Amino acid sequence: MELLFEKSRKGRRCDLLPPLDVPPAHLMAGMERETPLDLPELSEVDLTRHYSALERRAHGVNNGFYPLGSCTMKYNPRINEELSALPGFTGVHPTQSADTAQGCLEVLYLAEELLCEITGMDAMTFQPAAGAHGEFTALLMVKKYHLDRGDTARTKILVPDSAHGTNPASAAMCGFTVVNVPSNPDGGVDLEALKAAAGPDTAALMLTNPNTLGLFDPNILEITQIVHDAGGLCYYDGANLNAVMGVVRPGDMGFDLVHLNLHKTFSTPHGGGGPGSGPVGCKKFLQDFLPVFHVEEGGDGLEFKDPAKSIGSVKVFYGNFTVVVKALAYILTLGAQGIPEAAKGAVLNANYLREQLRGTYDIAYGDGPCMHEFVLTLHDLKKQTGVSAMDVAKALIDHGIHPPTMYFPLIVEEALMFEPTETESRETLDEAAAVLRDIRAQADADPESLHTAPHTTPIGRPDEVKAARHPVLRYTPPEGKA
Written as one letter, the residue type at 145 is: Y
Least distance (Å) from other proteins to the CB of residue 241? Answer: 13
- Cis peptide before 454, with omega less than 30 degrees from 0? yes
Residue-wise DSSP of 63-93: TS---BTTS------HHHHHHHT-HHHHT--
Binding to other proteins in span 199-228, by CB under 8 A: 215-218, 220-221
| Residue 462 binds other proteins, judged by CB under 8 A | yes
Of 62, 155, 225, 384, the one binding other proteins by CB under 8 A: 62
Q: How far is CA 213 from CA 96, 195, 377, 407, 449, in A?
A: 46, 22, 11, 12, 30
Of 65, 68, 160, 420, the one binding other proteins by CB under 8 A: 68
| Residue 55 binds other proteins, judged by CB under 8 A | yes
Q: How far is CA 455 from CA 55, 139, 467, in A?
A: 19, 45, 21
326 or 382: whose CB is closer to other proteins?
Answer: 326
Over the window 93 to 122, marking each residue x when it contacts other proteins by CB under 8 A and - when it does not, the resulting string is xxxxx--xxxxx-xx--x---x--xx----
φ and ψ at 237, to 5 degrees? -80, 110
Binding to other proteins in span 69-88, by CB under 8 A: 71, 73-77, 79, 81-83, 86-88
| Residue 448 binds other proteins, judged by CB under 8 A | no
| Residue 40 binds other proteins, judged by CB under 8 A | yes
Total residues contacting other proteins by CB under 8 A comes to 197
Q: Is 46 exposed, middle or buried (0-12, 13-18, 19+ CB in 10 A)?
A: middle
Least distance (Å) from other proteins to the CB of residue 329? Answer: 5
| Residue 323 binds other proteins, judged by CB under 8 A | yes
199 or 400: whose CB is closer to other proteins?
Answer: 400
- Cis peptide before 210, with omega less than 30 degrees from 0? yes
3-class DSSP assignment, residue 333 = helix
Q: State the Cα–Cα distance between residues 228 and 235, nearest whole angstrom.
A: 11
Binding to other proteins in span 146-175, by CB under 8 A: 164-166, 168-175
Over the window 292 to 311, marking each residue x when it contacts other proteins by CB under 8 A and - when it does not, the resulting string is x------------------x
Q: How far is CA 349 from CA 191, 266, 458, in A?
A: 30, 18, 31
Binding to other proteins in span 2-31, by CB under 8 A: 3-5, 12-14, 16-17, 20-28, 31
**Window contacting other proteins (CB under 8 A); options: 194-202, 227-235, 269-277, 440-448:** 269-277
Q: State the Cα–Cα distance between residues 441 and 438, nearest whole angstrom.
A: 5
Quote the longest CA-to-CA distance of the chain.
Answer: 77
CA proximity to 175, closest of 154, 159, 199, 205:
154
169 or 441: whose CB is closer to other proteins?
Answer: 169
Q: State the Cα–Cα distance between residues 339 and 347, nearest whole angstrom.
A: 13
Least distance (Å) from other proteins to the CB of residue 381? Answer: 20
Least distance (Å) from other proteins to the CB of residue 262? Answer: 11
Of 182, 231, 275, 447, the one binding other proteins by CB under 8 A: 275
Least distance (Å) from other proteins to the CB of residue 2? Answer: 10
Could you give the angle at which helices 389-397 and 426-445 cross, rounded to 10 degrees?
A: 120
Least distance (Å) from other proteins to the CB of residue 24? Answer: 5
208 or 423: whose CB is closer to other proteins?
Answer: 423
Least distance (Å) from other proteins to the CB of residue 377? Answer: 19
